[in-house]
Chains A and B, each alone.
Chain A
């Protein structure tokens, strides 16, 4: 009963976000697409000689960086619904939601589901583009589905961080300011180069990044393999990051009431 109400409330809020997305298609759907697409083209050209480094595992650079730019769609243009949350708070809409018999979790989950959905077209296009640019791909349809699932998982975790910042600052510009955060996350991971080629300290930082482990799980699907250990680690850190950030976000939403 409680769960079905939570699900139906989240569904209604998801639909509102979806409508919002279709009204702002550039912001909702193009922002996750364009920077990664540019990344796929530019990285594969600029860094093509990187593969000549001794021990570099792929023959062409796009085969290495391709999966990274696919996952970049989960972070590029993040915060769409987080900004909406701040605007709802300013307009009093969030108060209206709080007066309804719904769990505040539903307010976040509905939006979160939209964040997962809105990056999928971009991720699919970038995956196709990477393959078209010469990336090795042996994952088949199932592999692609699994990769998109991991993109959605990371998009939800990453956007949860934006909810925390949005709800703590109540500043519509704050999620925007947070956007460039995807650069350090991207560079401090195995997205650009394998860990054997990194300086030690970056390798250490990257090994602690949840993004690295999701990325490696996705890379495995790209190659058409299945290593349960890699998958389990990727899922564990991905889900762990999502749950932790959601707990913070729900607390931040609750803190709004106490702040008043």
Chain B
């Protein structure tokens, strides 16, 4: 797989000694949506600023599209589109004026710039409001315009720093569709978010960053499996022969309620919660235990995340290297 973003041992210390990043390494494959998940102040925006050439790392190196973010910053800028946390728009311009202005600064010829602006306004559902001043836009519209701005010059790598923060659920879902469409058009997307649901929905792979270190990385499924636990609840018709349960359940912790409800906690065993539950079910049948009710609760990414960032770690724990799939 071609590598679109390659970050190696990036460190960033600000004046006054605040260390925002402590040796962050990861690779993002071309055409991937890479989720970068972390709570407030974990180092997400610092990472984006370094990868987009807005800030210099104190140590380490990074390339975007093969170009070094320090030595070849101009080349990096030509191939990326960026939206930062706050939509940077001039509220007094109309959306059309704004996009034409940005097209002009990209060096796009006037008529072509007008055409491209029209296309983008159409794509992002802003065409009816094209001639309204941006200050009259809702938060969702400003966000969409901000992303449209990042796409003016057909970037190959797109950085979205918390694009849906502050949006209502409807706008958030609409934006998810647009982010997926970016990948379908072949772009690589680096997406930071503090919403687990969002990372779960969109990201092909994700890294969890906590206090400037990557503490977990993998596909959303892998992360859930690695740190969450599946709970399977069985209801038995007859609760008298409970000893027959033990060999089936094996070493997994379980509890039996007075009402015959058996609650089994399954930790990562490489299979999904449902298939593990089916295995248990077959085992119970073999031993003549009649199951009359069954429910499976898979770990959510939220549980996985909270467990990951809540986990106490010695200060010298190194940052994980998040290689390509």
Hey, which chain A residues are within 8 Å of B82, CB to CB?
96, 99
Hey, which chain A residues are within 8 Å of B55, CB to CB?
257, 260
Hey, which chain B residues are within 8 Å of A19, CB to CB?
92-93
CB of B86 within 8 Å of the partner chain: yes
CB distance from B18 to the nearest CB of A (A): 13
CB atoms of B90 and A93 under 8 A apart: yes
What's the Cα separation between A20 and B89 when bound, in Å? 14
CB atoms of B88 and A93 under 8 A apart: yes
Q: Which residue of B lies closest to A93 (CB)?
A: B88
CB distance from B69 to the nearest CB of A (A): 12
Hey, which chain A residues are within 8 Å of B85, CB to CB?
92
**Interface contact tally, CB-CB below 8 A:** 59
CB of B226 within 8 Å of the partner chain: no
CB atoms of B77 and A100 under 8 A apart: yes
Hey, which chain B residues are within 8 Å of A8, CB to CB?
104, 107
If A19-B92, A20-B92, A91-B88 touch, whether A260 touches B56 (CB-CB below 8 Å) is yes
Question: Interface size for chain A: under 10, 10 to 19, 20 to 34, or 35 or more residues?
Answer: 20 to 34
Name the interface residues of B13-66: CB closer than 8 Å to any CB of A.
Answer: 49, 52-56
What's the Cα separation between A23 and B49 when bound, in Å? 32
Specify the main secondary structure of chain B where it touches its partner.
loop
Hey, which chain B residues are within 8 Å of A138, CB to CB?
none
Hey, which chain A residues are within 8 Å of B80, CB to CB?
99
Contact of B54 among A20, A93, A98 (CB under 8 A): A98
Write the A1-44 contact mask toward B (1 if CB under 8 angstroms, else 0). 00001001100100010011001000000000000000000000
Question: Interface size for chain B: under 10, 10 to 19, 20 to 34, or 35 or more residues?
Answer: 20 to 34
Q: Which residue of A lies closest to B104 (CB)?
A: A12
CB atoms of B105 and A100 under 8 A apart: yes
Specify the main secondary structure of chain A where it touches its partner.
helix
What's the Cα separation between A260 and B84 when bound, in Å? 15
Hey, which chain A residues are within 8 Å of B105, CB to CB?
9, 12, 97, 100-102
What's the Cα separation between A102 and B104 when bound, in Å? 10
CB atoms of A92 and B88 under 8 A apart: yes
Hey, which chain B residues are within 8 Å of A96, CB to CB?
82, 84, 88, 102, 149
Q: Which residue of A lies closest to B159 (CB)?
A: A99
Hey, which chain B residues are within 8 Å of A100, CB to CB?
77, 102, 105-106
Name the interface residues of B129-167: CB closer than 8 Å to any CB of A.
Answer: 149
CB of A196 within 8 Å of the partner chain: no
CB of A59 within 8 Å of the partner chain: no
Q: Which residue of A lies closest to B80 (CB)?
A: A99
CB atoms of B77 and A99 under 8 A apart: yes
What's the Cα separation between A101 and B74 when bound, in Å? 7
Q: Which residue of A lies closest to B78 (CB)?
A: A101
If A258-B56, A260-B49 touch, whether A101 touches B92 (CB-CB below 8 Å) is no
Q: Which residue of A lies closest to B146 (CB)?
A: A96
CB atoms of A95 and B54 under 8 A apart: yes
Partner-A contacts on B (CB < 8 A): 49, 52-56, 74, 77-78, 80, 82, 84-86, 88-90, 92-93, 101-102, 104-107, 149
Q: A20-B92, A99-B80, A100-B102 provided; 14 other pairs, C-beta below 8 A? A: A8-B107, A12-B104, A16-B101, A19-B92, A92-B86, A95-B84, A95-B88, A96-B149, A100-B106, A101-B77, A101-B107, A257-B55, A257-B56, A260-B56
| Across the A-B interface, the 3 shortest Cβ-Cβ residue pairs | A92-B88, A260-B55, A96-B88
- What are 27 pairs between A and B in contact, CB < 8 Å? A5-B107, A8-B104, A9-B104, A12-B104, A16-B90, A16-B101, A23-B92, A91-B88, A92-B86, A93-B89, A93-B90, A95-B54, A96-B84, A96-B88, A96-B102, A97-B105, A99-B52, A99-B77, A100-B102, A101-B74, A101-B105, A102-B105, A257-B55, A258-B56, A260-B54, A260-B55, A260-B56
